[in-house]
Amino acid sequence: MAEPLFRRIALIGIGLIGSSVARIAMERGDIAAEVVANARTEATLDRVRALGIAHRTELDAARAVEGADLVMLCAPVGAYAGLAAAIAPHLAPGAILTDVGSTKQSVIRDVGPHVPPGVHFIPAHPLAGTEHSGPDAGFATLFEGRWTLLTPPAGSDPDAVERVAELWRRCGSNVQRMDAAHHDRVLAIVSHLPHLIAFTICGTADDLEEESRQEVLRFAASGFRDFTRIAASDPVMWRDVFLNNREALLEMLARFTEDAQAMARAVRWGDADYIEDRVERGRKIRRSLIELNQA
Ligand SMILES: NC(=O)c1ccc[n+]([C@@H]2O[C@H](COP(=O)([O-])OP(=O)(O)OC[C@H]3O[C@@H](n4cnc5c(N)ncnc54)[C@H](O)[C@@H]3O)[C@@H](O)[C@H]2O)c1
Ligand SMILES: O=C(O)C(=O)C[C@]1(C(=O)O)C=C[C@@H](O)C=C1
């Protein structure tokens, strides 16, 4: 077995993503010699202990990071500023501080100012997940064949960037570097807007009068069902994502609204060619994803 990349990793937040990393680290043994898990409640840490997915559990984030050579923030992005302030004085010199948050400019804004000199701050985002949350929801194959984007600030230590990249490769992921602003625009269209649309369409259906709402549930065909899967995602996580990628999300939503209006006009005026063309474009995108093995 290869040498462990890290002596001790501390996972701050141990839900779907944190517990998946923990499971992989515990199973492989070549990521960290010791895995420390932190959560806000004893109930969560009880689950972590019962699942056997960490060597040690800590209720206090500051204590969890002491002596760790890699600290990974795995909480909702709205909690990052407070967490960074709490752990900063306890980070070991030379440690790497990384994260898994779905937004990247906000993470650099909220965490960056707290990072002590000598600590390497390498933000990251694994593009993999499900609609489930909490430590029971994680699984060791979650990141296999998926992308992890790294958004290291200019001037980051290349060795620290490489060690975080290697951690994600050992989790089964492909790794690519990206500028944080570009990341936020790309994710706004491929992830944040689709979630916004899913939450909204479920809300629209739920607002219908009682009789129609019952029918939505009874006759929900797979079109509506597919939306309900992602609409089942964690409210706090998504509240934080929307509020921390505000500009890019609003820009993509404005474009989408214009396109939806154009579709409405085509439907109203019977513009069959326009409708057919748009459906054909959707189909092509789906086929390309299948060819890339990403569907
Ligand atoms: N769910 C996904 O599909 C997905 C995918 C990629 C990245 N992410 C990102 O990963 C991070 C974690 O998401 P998740 O899906 O694992 O969520 P989760 O709800 O499953 O787990 C979140 C963990 O953070 C802890 N936590 C919540 N608020 C906290 C606070 N104020 N202080 C300290 N700890 C707190 C929770 O107790 C829990 O242990 C988020 O930043 C999210 O944007 C999520
Ligand atoms: O597959 C899902 O259920 C997800 O929501 C995963 C998903 C996505 O939108 O693709 C959600 C948030 C992330 O930051 C990354 C991945």
Closest CA to 108 of 18, 182, 158: 182
As given in the structure block, the two tokens for residue 48 are: 């972590």
For the chain, what are the domain ranges? Answer: 6-178, 182-291
Please say if the pLDDT value at position 187 is more than 80.
yes
CATH class of segment(s) 182-291? mainly alpha
Please say if the pLDDT value at position 182 is more than 80.
yes
**For residue 88, how far is its CA from the centre of ligand 1 (angstroms)?**
20
The best mutation among 11, 14, 17, 244 to test binding of ligand 1, ranked by most ligand atoms within 8 Å of the C-beta, falls on 17
Q: Residues 169-191: what's their mean pLDDT?
A: 98
Q: Pick the ligand that lies closest to the CA of residue 111.
A: 1
- Cβ atoms of residues 108 and 180 within 8 Å: yes
CATH class of segment(s) 6-178? alpha beta
Q: Pick the ligand that lies closest to the CA of residue 127.
A: 2
Confidence of residue 160 (pLDDT cuts 50, 70, 90): very high
Q: What is the pTM of this model?
A: 0.96
Q: Residues 48-76: what's their mean pLDDT?
A: 98
**For residue 69, how far is its CA from the centre of ligand 2 (angstroms)?**
28
Please list the alpha-helical segments (H only) found in the chain. 16-28, 42-51, 61-65, 80-87, 105-111, 158-170, 180-187, 193-207, 210-219, 222-231, 235-244, 246-268, 272-291
Stretch (H or E) spanning 97: strand 96-99
Confidence of residue 221 (pLDDT cuts 50, 70, 90): confident
pLDDT of residue 208: 86
- Cβ atoms of residues 176 and 147 within 8 Å: yes
Ligand 1, closest atom to CA 137?
20
Please say if the pLDDT value at position 183 is more than 90.
yes
Confidence of residue 27 (pLDDT cuts 50, 70, 90): very high
pLDDT of residue 257: 98
Binding-site residues, ligand 1, Cβ < 6 A: 13-18, 39-40, 44, 74-77, 79, 83, 100-102, 126, 129, 133-134, 137, 234, 237, 241
First and final C-alpha spacing in the chain: 33
Percentage of the residues of the chain whose pLDDT score is greater than 90: 90
Please say if the pLDDT value at position 169 is more than 80.
yes
**For residue 129, how far is its CA from the centre of ligand 2 (angstroms)?**
5
**For residue 227, how far is its CA from the centre of ligand 2 (angstroms)?**
13
**For residue 219, how far is its CA from the centre of ligand 2 (angstroms)?**
27
Closest CA to 72 of 23, 26, 123: 123
Residue with tokens 């949350």: 133
Give strand pairing partners of 125.
149
Task: Supply the ipTM of this predicted assembly.
Answer: 0.98
The best mutation among 237, 239, 240, 249 to test binding of ligand 1, ranked by most ligand atoms within 8 Å of the C-beta, falls on 237
